[in-house]
Amino acid sequence: EKGLRILDKGFLNTAVIRSRITYIDGEAGVLRYRGYPIEQLAQKSSHLESAYLLIYGSLPTRDQFKHFESEILRHGVMHSDAEEFFRSFRYDAHPMSMLTSAFAMLGSLYGEANPSLQGQRLYTNGDKQSLATMDRQIYRLIGKATTLAAMAYRVRQGREFVTPPTGLSYTGSFLYQMDHIGEEDYKPNPVLEKALDVLFLIHADHELNASCTTVLQTGSSLVDPYSAIAAGCASLYGPLHGGANEAVIRMLISIGKPENVPAFIEAVKKKEKTLSGFGHRVYKTSDPRSFIVRKTADEVFKVTGRDELLETAMALHDAAMKDEYFVKRKLAPNVDFCGLIYRAMGFPLDFFPVLFAVPRVVGWLAHWRQMMLQEGGVKIWRPRQVYIGSTKRDYVPVDERV
Ligand code: SDX
């Protein structure tokens, strides 16, 4: 094999792209969207306003936001064929498998699945028409993410689908489609709507995590963005990544009472159990989002009442944070303890990764658009390997094999 190749398992030390979108400092526990600290955005911005910032690079003027929001809300309506698609799932299908499939279905539904290379070149050359094409696909995917999620939820409940309402916010419209049971003047609880919007905002992007890398790897072949987003959704589903918020709650339920925490910690140290919600490839101190999750949880629990698992979660947090095993490995809480909030808000357990995927569509699209418009055009991502298999050998007829 010509040339030495460095094997970088899990891409621990590999950068594949230059980006202006999100900055993380894992040692200092810093997260910024286009330079704005996540703490300021969580306090002062909204999920959709931060979505505009992530995708287009600056905070929107009032008119820019009005257009962006109205386009996204307009695209929330689903083609009626989507209803048959969702009805084909069993009531107990995992909502992430429904959502992953639904994103891929969107391309065909809107006649934009994998257009010819000529078609793709059209929107990678950055002229007015190509920018407008990408904008429409971005509005469609963000607008439909909440509707598709709500449709998956209604399949689970065996209830009819609900058309997105008018006059509510993006997050409010999502809650309406989840909870609507017929009363016309439904308004989501403002504290819960604000809490979910903050959680959407802090989940919107996180630079080149596994699912974002998957979207870019897939998008680099110039496939349509719906298929690339579906691939990212599949990657996010795993328990090491977005599926961890569901795994955290299953872990807390299995531990049960706080007095069972020491035995669980010992099992983790013997590698018999994994401590979901802890550890991160980049953060070697607490994930800055975990402080925002804690603050949001306090707000929500004032409305919903405290969750009995909270005591166990706090006992686990305190035990792990002072145990040498975790301190030495720099394992601190990550964003995925937010499952306690989703549980308090009444979402089904296996729906939690969906609440991660819906906002993360924004970050995936921001990076996808950046790659489509990058200097020098799009190059397909095709890494190499270090080959350690057999040297050359000749075919052996079956009767001579032992
Ligand atoms: C997200 O990348 C992102 O940005 C992701 C994310 C985003 O916004 O997109 O932040 C969202 O996915 C957060 C992470 C959610 N996942 C979990 O909570 C699952 C539990 N966490 C671990 O599986 C793990 O920490 C990872 C997957 C998050 C990170 O794994 P790494 O970087 O590959 O680290 P590693 O597995 O090499 O661990 C180093 C050591 C090992 O011990 P030794 O072999 O050195 O003895 O730490 C141990 C690991 O066994 N370890 C853990 C642990 N995490 C790491 N031990 C117990 N419990 C854990 N949670």
Nearest residue by C-alpha to atom 4 in ligand 1: 209
Whole-Å CA distances, 334 to 76, 164, 203, 282: 31, 33, 12, 11
* Closest ligand 1 atom to Cα of 207: 4
Question: pLDDT tens digits for 291-322?
Answer: 999 999 999 999 999 988 999 999 999 999 99
Q: What is the ipTM of this complex?
A: 0.95
**239 CA from centroid of ligand 1 (Å):** 10
**Cβ proximity of 277 and 336 under 8 Å:** yes
Question: pLDDT tens digits for 235-279?
Answer: 999 999 999 999 999 999 999 999 999 999 999 999 999 899 999
| CA torsion, ordered 35, 38, 39, 44, to nearest 10 deg | 80
- pTM value? 0.95
The predicted structure's pLDDT at residue 59: 98
**Reduced to 3 states, what is the DSSP secondary structure of residue 168?**
coil
Nearest residue by C-alpha to atom 22 in ligand 1: 279
**Cβ proximity of 323 and 232 under 8 Å:** no
The predicted structure's pLDDT at residue 332: 87
Instruction: Name the phi and psi angles at 400, rounded to 5.
Output: -100, 0
Which of 205, 224, 336, 350 does the annotation list as catalytic? 336
**275 CA from centroid of ligand 1 (Å):** 9
Nearest residue by C-alpha to atom 24 in ligand 1: 279
**Cβ proximity of 341 and 297 under 8 Å:** yes
Structure tokens at 124: 């990678």
> What single DSSP character describes residue 394?
-
Above 70 in pLDDT, residue 388? yes
Most ligand 1 atoms within 8 A of CB, residue of 205, 240, 328 to mutate: 240
Most ligand 1 atoms within 8 A of CB, residue of 203, 290, 329 to mutate: 329
**397 CA from centroid of ligand 1 (Å):** 47
Q: What gap in Å lies between CA 360 and CA 137, rounded to an integer?
A: 15
Question: pLDDT tens digits for 56-67?
Answer: 999 999 999 999
Question: What element of type H or E holds 196?
Answer: helix 190-202
For the chain, helix, strand, coil in percent to 5 are 60, 5, 40
Whole-Å CA distances, 103 to 152, 181, 228: 12, 26, 9
Above 60 in pLDDT, residue 118? no
**268 CA from centroid of ligand 1 (Å):** 13
Half-sphere exposure of 252 (CA within 13 A, CB side): 25
Which of 280, 307, 317, 367 does the annotation list as catalytic? 280
Please choose, from the candidates 285, 268, 364, 377, the residue with its C-alpha nearest in 3D space to the C-alpha of residue 325: 268
Q: What gap in Å lies between CA 91 and CA 100, rounded to an integer?
A: 16
Nearest residue by C-alpha to atom 33 in ligand 1: 281
The predicted structure's pLDDT at residue 308: 87
Whole-Å CA distances, 236 to 204, 241, 369: 13, 6, 19
Which of 25, 135, 241, 323 does the annotation list as catalytic? 241
The predicted structure's pLDDT at residue 129: 84
Above 70 in pLDDT, residue 197? yes
**Cβ proximity of 353 and 242 under 8 Å:** yes
Position with higher pLDDT, 371 vs 1? 371
The predicted structure's pLDDT at residue 2: 62
**pLDDT class for 230, splitting at 50, 70, 90?**
very high
**281 CA from centroid of ligand 1 (Å):** 6
The predicted structure's pLDDT at residue 376: 86
Structure tokens at 374: 């990058």
Q: What gap in Å lies between CA 236 and CA 355, rounded to an integer?
A: 11
Ligand 1, CB within 6 Å, residue ranges: 10, 206, 209, 240-242, 244, 268, 274-282, 329, 331, 334-336
Asked about 336 being catalytic, the answer comes back as: yes
Above 60 in pLDDT, residue 201? yes
CB-based contacts of 294, cutoff 8 Å, min separation 6: 337
Place of tokens 């969207």: 33
